Amino acid sequence: MLPGSKILLFSLASTAITCFTRGLDLRKGTEDVLCPANCPLWQFYVFGDGVYASLSSVCGAAIHSGVITNTGGAVRVRTLPGQESYPAVNANGIQSQVLSRWASSFSVTAGTKSTALEAVGRSVSTARPSTGKRPKKTLDKKAGNKDCKADIAFLIDGSYNIGQRRFNLQKNFVGKVAVMLGIGTEGPHVGVVQASEHPKIEFYLKNYTAAKEVLFAIKELGFRGGNSNTGKALKYTAQKFFSLENGARKGIPKIIVVFLDGWPSDDLEEAGIVAREFGVNVFIVSVAKPTAEELGMVQDIGFVDKAVCRNNGFFSYQMPTWFGTTKYVKPLVQKLCSHEQMLCSKTCYNSVNIGFLIDGSSSVGESNFRLMLEFVSNVAKAFEISDIGSKVAAVQFTYSQRSEFSFTDYVTKEKVLSAIRNIRYMSGGTATGDAISFITTHVFGPVKDGPNKNFLIVLTDGQSYDDVRGPAAAAQKAGITVFSVGIAWAPLDDLKDMASEPRESHTFFTREFTGLEPMVPDIIRGICKDFLDSKQ
């Protein structure tokens, strides 16, 4: 066989990949790949040690495990089943990250390509540039990059800080980012807000769905001037920009990329909190950081960490100057398309399952039962109920239990509220412990491995005829946070025995059924606090 044909055979068997190719981007059970040299180690995202979650960078995992160095090389990748736990380990200059669960994994070992063949391959590729080239993946320009679905607001700096000349350079950079994202109907959608004395939405997500149109709109933006009230603009964008009417899509990550020349003239911390409450992932792209002499003029030198979605390094991006920024475009785009890293997309409003256990015993009575249903409705109204968002279920109990509807029965808020209104009062005894066991097994059981955090709200007006402590402990062990709401003759000891820790903040009581209504905001706040605490 001729030497050239050997190289051709190998090039067909071995795939050249980029620094950022992930395990889930590969399609074969076992695949030989070739990692490039000089990948930026600090930009790698690796989860696990030895066995890596499939959203990890293949080349990052290979360097982390010692299979190759940062001079690149051949790697064999084997697809493995998902794991329950991926540890965080620092090795070979890469800090891997912890991940509790992922659907698939991979391992890496040294590839089979010899050093001699690599050398010959390089010489052949120099002589014959077309040999071994992979056909480029064609992109449907109208549909856009379907692997990068995101709704993105570019919050550009239009203050006197940046000035007209650098403002134009900023527009040029933002335009390049927008084009590389692969904007399209089924891909990323973008809009622009200009921060200055007062924020101005230049165009919304719905206005343009083609890269060429977006590029033209960005070029046409006028410089506004004024103070760099970035905090004011960030808060305004988080609250006003991502509405369904203005083109935001359900279930798509919401991102604000803040471009900041120098430093803000107002506070960013509150704006960052508001953005997180709205499920928005905030990135800060800072250019020309304050010099040592200028730091005294900065209100808060930690403004970046307080504004971003998470201060883990992923959401902050620094460029030394607006000149020669082309090399910074691709790494930023790769960040914006790493959807598994969008930690702030999930909020307590769109990522919880709430099960209501409603006392239908004889002591409640028809009119008071209606007040309980009104309470259930008002709590449910606060949450974004959908097939990909929060979900609600209800069980009524006496001595027996009746599942009124499960988490999968209704996936719109309107249908859930209608189902609550249509619940018919049972009347009977009070076996709260059996009811907790029933809802834990039959209602929460089918969703226990889902993405949402589980909450149970127990509504009762009296003493239970059975033990509540054991069933409540079992529910909590199954990952369900329990709030107990007692009315009238419900014993405080029972309520505390059912409630999750700290019991004081998960136990509620009112003498009258009319006292349920004022509890609604406290219950909602409690759910959100527990949700945020679980994400820390």
Q: Are residues 65 and 210 in the same domain?
A: no
* 379 within a domain of the structure (yes/no): yes
Q: What is the DSSP letter of 347?
A: -
Q: Are residues 115 and 189 in the same domain?
A: no
Q: Are residues 391 and 530 in the same domain?
A: yes
* 72 within a domain of the structure (yes/no): yes
* 55 within a domain of the structure (yes/no): yes
For residues 11-34, average pLDDT: 80
Res 131: pLDDT: 38
**In terms of pLDDT, which residue wins out, 108 or 122?**
108
Q: Are residues 220 and 321 in the same domain?
A: yes
For residues 372-394, average pLDDT: 92
For residues 516-528, average pLDDT: 93
Of 61, 96, 127, the residue that ends a domain is 127
CB 34 within 8 A of CB 72: yes
Show the CA angle centred on residue 529, arms to residues 385 and 479, nearest 5°: 75
Please tell me whether the peptide bond between 3 and the residue prior to it is cis, using omega within 30 degrees of 0: no
Query: Residue 298: pLDDT band by 50, 70, 90 thresholds?
Result: low
The boundaries of the domain holding residue 32 are 3-127
Query: Residue 141: pLDDT band by 50, 70, 90 thresholds?
Result: low
Of 67, 93, 127, the residue that ends a domain is 127
For residues 302-317, average pLDDT: 86
pLDDT tens sequence across 433-450: 999 999 999 999 999 888
Give the C-alpha separation, 136 to 493, whole Å: 67
**In terms of pLDDT, which residue wins out, 39 or 362?**
362
What DSSP string runs through 147-192? GG--EEEEEEE-STTTHHHHHHHHHHHHHHHHHHHT--TTS-EEEE
CATH number of the domain where residue 32 is located = 2.170.130.20
Q: Are residues 317 and 396 in the same domain?
A: no
pLDDT tens sequence across 145-200: 888 889 999 999 998 888 899 999 999 999 999 999 999 988 999 999 999 889 99
* 415 within a domain of the structure (yes/no): yes
Mean pLDDT of the chain: 86
Q: Are residues 282 and 370 in the same domain?
A: no
* 483 within a domain of the structure (yes/no): yes
Q: Is 300 exposed, middle or buried (0-12, 13-18, 19+ CB in 10 A)?
A: middle
Res 536: pLDDT: 60
Q: Are residues 392 and 441 in the same domain?
A: yes
Q: Are residues 268 and 387 in the same domain?
A: no
Is the pLDDT at 7 greater than 70, yes or no?
no
Res 404: pLDDT: 97
Res 135: pLDDT: 42
Instruction: Please count the other Cβ atoms lying within 10 Å of the Cβ belonging to residue 60.
Output: 26
Max mean pLDDT range (47-51, 100-104, 137-141) = 47-51
* 45 within a domain of the structure (yes/no): yes
Q: Are residues 204 and 171 in the same domain?
A: yes
CB 227 within 8 A of CB 159: yes
* 347 within a domain of the structure (yes/no): no
Say which range, 89-103, 128-142, 215-229, 345-359, has the weakest mean pLDDT: 128-142
Is the pLDDT at 533 greater than 60, yes or no?
yes
- Position 276: which residue type? R
Of 310, 341, 372, the residue that ends a domain is 341
Query: Residue 218: pLDDT band by 50, 70, 90 thresholds?
Result: very high
Instruction: Please count the other Cβ atoms lying within 10 Å of the Cβ belonging to residue 488.
Output: 16
Res 418: pLDDT: 97
- Position 186: which residue type? E
Res 136: pLDDT: 41
Res 22: pLDDT: 84
Q: What is the DSSP letter of 23?
A: G
Res 467: pLDDT: 95
Q: Are residues 485 and 529 in the same domain?
A: yes
Q: Torsions phi, psi of 46, nearest 5?
A: -130, 130
Res 118: pLDDT: 41
Q: Are residues 253 and 372 in the same domain?
A: no
What lies within 8 Å, CB to CB, of 74 at 6+ separation is: 14, 32, 33, 34, 35, 68, 110, 111, 112, 113, 118
CATH number of the domain where residue 428 is located = 3.40.50.410
Q: Are residues 357 and 336 in the same domain?
A: no
Is the pLDDT at 233 greater than 70, yes or no?
yes
Query: Residue 370: pLDDT band by 50, 70, 90 thresholds?
Result: very high
- Report how far apart, in Å, the C-alpha atoms of 250 and of each of 164, 244, 386 are: 37, 8, 9
CB 385 within 8 A of CB 391: yes
Strand order in the sheet with 151-157: 200-203, 189-195, 151-157, 254-261, 280-287, 316-319
Res 89: pLDDT: 85
* 163 within a domain of the structure (yes/no): yes
- The number of distinct structural domains making up the chain is 3
In the chain the first and final C-alpha atoms are separated, in Å, by 60
For residues 300-326, average pLDDT: 85
Res 535: pLDDT: 67
Give the C-alpha separation, 173 to 403, whole Å: 56
Res 102: pLDDT: 78
3-state secondary structure of 90: strand
pLDDT tens sequence across 241-250: 999 899 998 8
Is the pLDDT at 66 greater than 70, yes or no?
yes
Report percent pLDDT > 70 for the chain.
Answer: 89
pLDDT tens sequence across 465-520: 999 999 999 999 999 999 999 999 999 999 999 999 999 999 999 999 999 999 99
For residues 16-24, average pLDDT: 84
